[in-house]
Structure 1
Amino acid sequence: MRIIIVQYAGDYREAVYRFAAGQGETYHAQRYSVNSVAALTSFAEEVAVLCCITESPYNEKLPNGVRAIGAGCQHPVDFKAIIQQIEAYQPTHLILNIPSREILNWAIKRQLPTITCLADSFNSKNWRQRLRNFQLVRALNHPQIQWVANHGITASESLCSIGVNPNKIIPWDWPYPITPDAFSAKTLFTGNEPRTLVYVGLITEAKGVGDALEAVALLRSKNVPVTLKLAGKGDLEVFQQKAATLNITDAVEFLGLVDNKSIIPLMRSADLVLVPSRHDYPEGFPLTIYEALCSRTPIVASDHPMFVRQLRHRVNAMLFPAGQPQAIAGQIEAIFSDAALYSQISEATAATWHQLQLPVKMGDLLARWVNTTPENQQWLYQHRLTSGLYKQQPISQTSVQLAEA
Structure 2
Amino acid sequence: MDLQHLRLLLVQGNEPYRYGMESGTLTAEQLTVLEGLTTWGFQLQEVGVLGCATDEIYDDILDTGVRVIGSGLPDTNEPIPRQLADFCPTHLVIDVPDPALFRWATRQQVHCIGMFRDNLREPGLRQRWDNYQLSKALNHARVDWVGGLGIEQCESLAQIGVLRNKLIPWDWPPSNRAESFEPKQLKVRPDPLQLIYVGPLFSTRGIGDLLVATAQLKAQGWNIHLKLVGQGDRQRFEIQAKRLQLDHVEFIDHVPDHSLVYLIRQADLVVMPSRHESPENSNAILNHCLQAHTPILASDHPMFAGSLSHGVNAMIFPAGNARALSQSVAYLLNHPETYAKLSAASQSSWQSLQLPVNWLSLLEHWLQGTIADQQWLQQYALSALLYQGRSASLVQA
Q: TM-score, normalised by structure 2?
A: 0.83
Aligned position for 2:228: 230
SS in 1 for 2:260: helix
Maintained 8 Å contact 2:58/2:71: yes
Aligned position for 1:275: 272
- Residue 206 to residue 16, structure 1, CA distance change in 2 (3 Å): farther
1:371 aligns with 2:368: yes
SS in 2 for 1:15: helix
Aligned position for 2:260: 263
In the TM superposition, what are the counterparts of 1:3-402 in structure 2 within 5 Å? 3-8=8-13, 11-19=16-24, 26=27, 28-52=28-52, 56-71=56-71, 77-81=75-79, 83-121=81-119, 130-191=128-189, 193-205=191-203, 207-221=205-219, 223-234=221-232, 236-237=234-235, 239-248=237-246, 250-278=247-275, 282-284=279-281, 286-322=283-319, 325-390=322-387, 392-393=389-390, 394-395=392-393
Deviates more, 1:127-136 or 1:38-47: 127-136
**Letter paired with 2:384:** S
SS in 2 for 1:79: coil
Q: Based on CA coordinates, which of the two structures has the bigger radius of gyration?
A: 2
**Letter paired with 1:392:** G
- Residue 273 to residue 146, structure 1, CA distance change in 2 (3 Å): same
**Letter paired with 1:190:** V
Deviates more, 1:7-16 or 1:342-351: 7-16
Distance 2:73 2:276 in 1: 27
- Residue 305 to residue 61, structure 1, CA distance change in 2 (3 Å): farther
Maintained 8 Å contact 1:95/1:115: yes
Distance 1:319 1:58 in 2: 50
SS in 2 for 1:160: helix
Distance 1:90 1:332 in 2: 58
SS in 2 for 1:395: helix
Distance 2:227 2:101 in 1: 39
Structure 2 residues without counterparts, runs of 5 or longer? 1-5
* Structure 1 residue 290 displacement after superposition: 0.6
**Letter paired with 2:39:** A
* Structure 1 residue 114 displacement after superposition: 1.7
1:267-289 Cα deviation digits (max 9, x unpaired) = 11101122344556555452111
- Residue 263 to residue 105, structure 1, CA distance change in 2 (3 Å): same
Distance 1:240 1:385 in 2: 43
* Structure 1 residue 327 displacement after superposition: 4.8
Distance 2:77 2:227 in 1: 37
SS in 1 for 2:183: coil
Identity of aligned residues (%): 37
- Residue 47 to residue 207, structure 1, CA distance change in 2 (3 Å): farther
- Residue 136 to residue 244, structure 1, CA distance change in 2 (3 Å): farther
RMSD: 3.4
